[in-house]
Amino acid sequence: MLVAEVVEVVEGNLTHDELIGALPADHARLVVHELAFATAEGTRRHEHLLVLWMPAVAGPQEEAYTAGYTALKEYLPDVRVHLTARRTDQLEYRRLLALAG
């Protein structure tokens, strides 16, 4: 038996803190996030991040979301930063800045 889950697509203009607050504690999500920051030289930059949000209690969703994450990495070749997070501290702003380089 094949069970399909409806994918919810939400587009918004969330700050980093709002994004973290919007992630459900018990469901997986795929997130494409535009991280805005300034370089050490003061240049404004924007870097897209692909995040697989997979909290420990997401359980049976993991396989489907992992497959979607893999497909999105191929579909979005301009997104250089890919990460899987199980806890919100793994999405800490300074950590994401270090990944975005």
**For the chain, how big is the Rg over CA atoms in Å?**
14
| Local mean pLDDT, 10-residue blocks, the chain (101 residues) | 50 84 90 89 91 83 85 92 94 93 79
Q: Does the domain spanning 16-100 belong to CATH 3.40.20.10?
A: yes
Bridging pattern class, strands 29-38 and 44-53: antiparallel
| CA nearest neighbour of 8 among 34, 21, 33, 27 | 27
- pLDDT at position 26, please? 87
The Cα–Cα gap between 101 and 96 comes to 9
Q: Domain coordinates of the chain in residue numbers?
A: 16-100
The predicted model scores a pTM of 0.82
